[in-house]
């Protein structure tokens, strides 16, 4: 934990070092160009380096503000840039020259008035009739989830909750909802699948699966029915789903009866899940924090689904932060999203990133609602992060290069 904190702190420390070492101490180059560009570049770099940690980008602070209007165009990193520019304007108003203060006021007025106008635009369109959905939140405590003594209770609970959800066109259970490999669950899943089909429902279930041909384990999301399909998680959690450690450490984990078998990431390109006559853009757990990860799926997918197990976080702010991440993904994509968490926060999110229904945390319950498939691509879904990254590179280079340019000297022939 200390190591992770030190690594995360090092990113911010690097921003401070570059600013202190090479950027001008005051002025527009520092406040409007250099620091905003540098901040967003480090956020983006942190999001993929050493498997990536894209959690808590600055742009998420704008999810409930007018700035959210830029999300379908620029994604969360665009919001980070605009937030940093607004912060720079505040500093300029406090410490800048009179001319710089007026420039800051004009810049903020332009950014926020444009954001207000963009919030009125619709980038995607409905592409089908409303679909009834039921999201199942089992609320199994993390310290009980994989206990053999609790297995039958878990099976019975999900059988009961799923039975309550029958009749909804689409029923979704959370990540790794059943504490057994999918390979061994046919006696449980088969009758449940048949009962669901008899009531006009399709089940989507988060399960772990084993591939004996390659001796590999996957964190997957299954769409039951005829035919069945599945999606394998692509972005795994270090030290949770795989262990980037030498063989000697792995042997110690084995001796200490600690987990030591790695999960395997799914292929970057996978067929879309199909359920209830609709194609789904799926993510598992915190891989929804990568805004660009599922953009290719949006060309064909009408709905988004995220299954997760945030029970690891306990009663902390992390689950609420994760919900904001999911809201940003819906806003960027212009799609309804079904978000199903083991103990919360289970919610239905509309294409504007608004939570239209949710369950209370730590309660076993079923959330019923209605979603509408949407089609069309937002500008961000078409182009991804590269325009913002390229812009920030140019801003940083400009801020670093201008002080090095020769100045004109007066009084000489």
DSSP 289-320: G-TTTTGGGGGT-SEEEEEE-GGGG-SSSHHH
Q: List, for residues 66-89, the tens digit of each pLDDT value.
A: 999 999 999 999 999 999 999 999
CA-based Rg of the chain, rounded to a whole angstrom?
Answer: 24
User: Which region holds residue 239: left if phi is over 0, alpha if psi is between -120 and 50, else beta?
Assistant: left
Active-site annotation holder among 43, 175, 193, 287 = 175
Q: How many CB atoms lie within 10 A of CB 372?
A: 17
pLDDT, one tens digit per residue, over 29-50 is: 999 999 999 999 999 999 998 8
**Cα 43 to Cα 53, 75, 85, 161, 282, distances in angstroms:** 9, 13, 15, 40, 24
Which residues lie across from 279 on neighbouring strands? 274
Give the DSSP per-residue string, 219-254.
Answer: EEEEE-SSS-EEEE--SPPBTTTB----HHHHHHHH
Helices (H) and strands (E) in the chain, counts: 12, 14
Answer whether 180's CB lies under 8 Å from 151's CB: yes
Q: What is the chain's mean pLDDT, rounded?
A: 91
Tell me: pLDDT of 167 over 80.
yes
* 192, two tokens: 């449940």
Tokens 């289970």 belong to residue: 346
Banded model confidence at residue 257, pLDDT cuts 50, 70, 90: low
On the question of pLDDT at 409 being above 60, the answer is no
pLDDT of amino acid 412:
42
Q: Which helix (H) or strand (E) holds 28?
A: helix 28-28
pLDDT at 121: 94
Q: Could you tell me if 197 and 225 are in contact, meaning their C-beta atoms sit under 8 angstroms apart?
A: yes
Given the residues 43, 145, 279, 285, the one annotated as active site: 285
Contacts of 373 (CB under 8 A, 6+ apart): 126, 127, 128, 131, 278, 302, 303, 336
What local confidence, expressed as pLDDT, does residue 146 receive? 84
| Domains parsed from the chain with CATH numbers | 2-123+384-404 (no CATH), 126-377 (3.60.110.10)
pTM for this predicted structure: 0.92
412 part of the active site: no
**Gap between the Cα atoms of 54 and 121, Å rounded:** 27
Give the pLDDT of residue 411: 47
Distance between CA atoms of residues 341 and 344, nearest Å:
5
3-state class (DSSP) for residue 178: coil
Of the chain, the percentage scoring pLDDT greater than 90 comes to 80
- Cβ–Cβ < 8 Å for 34, 26: no
The question of whether 233 is a catalytic residue gets the answer: yes
The mean pLDDT of 187-192, rounded to a whole number, is 94
* Mean pLDDT, residues 172-183: 94
Is the confidence at residue 408, as pLDDT, over 70?
A: no
Tell me the pLDDT band of 241, cut-offs 50, 70 and 90.
confident
* Mean predicted confidence (pLDDT) in 134-151: 90
Higher pLDDT, 362 or 142: 362
* Joined tokens for residue 267: 């292929």
pLDDT value of residue 413: 36
Q: What pLDDT digit, counting tens, does each position of 286-336 carry?
A: 999 999 998 999 999 999 999 999 888 888 899 999 999 999 999 999 999
Q: Which of 43, 145, 193, 233 is catalytic?
A: 233
CA distance 265 to 102: 51
Q: Which two tokens stand for residue 51?
A: 């498997």
Looking up tokens 């069945």 gives: 228
Share of the chain above pLDDT 70, in %: 94
Q: Catalytic: 251?
A: no
Question: Could you tell me the pLDDT band of residue 183, with boundaries at 50, 70 and 90?
Answer: very high
CA pair distance 94, 104, nearest whole angstrom: 10
Where residue 355 falls among pLDDT bands split at 50, 70, 90?
very high
Q: Name the band, by pLDDT with cuts 50, 70 and 90, for residue 126.
A: very high
Distance CA 156, CA 154 (A): 5
pLDDT value at 58 more than 90: yes
Q: Is the pLDDT of residue 226 over 80?
A: no
Confidence band of 254 (pLDDT split at 50, 70, 90): low
């Amino acid at each position: 934990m200390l190591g992770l904190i030190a690594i995360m702190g090092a990113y911010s420390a690097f921003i401070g070092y570059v600013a202190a070492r090479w950027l001008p101490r005051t002025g527009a180059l520092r406040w409007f160009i250099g620091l905003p560009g540098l901040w967003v570049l480090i956020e983006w770099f942190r999001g993929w380096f050493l498997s990536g940690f894209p959690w808590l980008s600055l742009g998420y602070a704008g999810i409930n503000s007018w700035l959210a209007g830029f999300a379908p165009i620029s994604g969360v990193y665009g919001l980070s840039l605009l937030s940093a520019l607004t912060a720079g304007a505040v500093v300029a108003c406090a410490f800048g020259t009179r001319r710089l203060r007026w420039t800051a006021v004009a810049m903020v007025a332009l950014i926020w008035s444009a954001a207000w106008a963009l919030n009125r635009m619709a980038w995607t369109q409905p592409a089908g009739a409303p679909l009834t959905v039921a999201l199942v939140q089992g609320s199994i405590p993390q310290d009980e989830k994989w206990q053999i003594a609790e297995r039958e209770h878990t099976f019975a609970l999900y059988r009961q909750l799923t039975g309550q959800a029958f009749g909804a066109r689409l029923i979704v259970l959370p990540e790794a909802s059943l504490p057994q490999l999918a390979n061994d669950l046919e006696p449980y899943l088969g009758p449940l699948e048949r009962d669901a089909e008899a009531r006009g429902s399709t089940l989507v279930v988060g399960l772990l699966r084993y591939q004996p041909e390659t001796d590999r384990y996957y964190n997957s999301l299954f769409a039951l029915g005829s035919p069945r399909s599945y999606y394998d998680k692509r972005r795994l959690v270090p030290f949770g789903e795989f262990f980037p450690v030498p063989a000697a450490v792995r042997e110690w984990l084995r001796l200490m009866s600690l987990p030591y078998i790695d999960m395997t990431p799914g292929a970057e390109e996978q067929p879309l899940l199909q359920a209830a006559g609709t194609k789904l853009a799926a993510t598992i757990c915190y891989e929804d924090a990568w805004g660009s990860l599922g953009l290719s799926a949006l060309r064909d997918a009408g709905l988004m689904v995220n299954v997760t197990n945030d029970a690891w976080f306990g009663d902390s702010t992390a689950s609420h932060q994760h919900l904001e991440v999911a809201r940003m993904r819906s806003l960027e994509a212009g799609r309804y999203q079904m978000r199903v968490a083991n103990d919360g926060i289970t919610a239905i999110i509309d294409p504007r990133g608004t939570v239209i229904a949710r369950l209370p945390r730590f309660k076993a319950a079923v959330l019923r609602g209605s979603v509408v498939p949407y089609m069309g691509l937002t500008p961000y879904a078409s182009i991804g992060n590269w325009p913002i990254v390229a812009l920030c590179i140019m801003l940083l280079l400009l801020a670093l290069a201008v002080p090095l340019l020769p100045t004109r000297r007066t009084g000489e022939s």
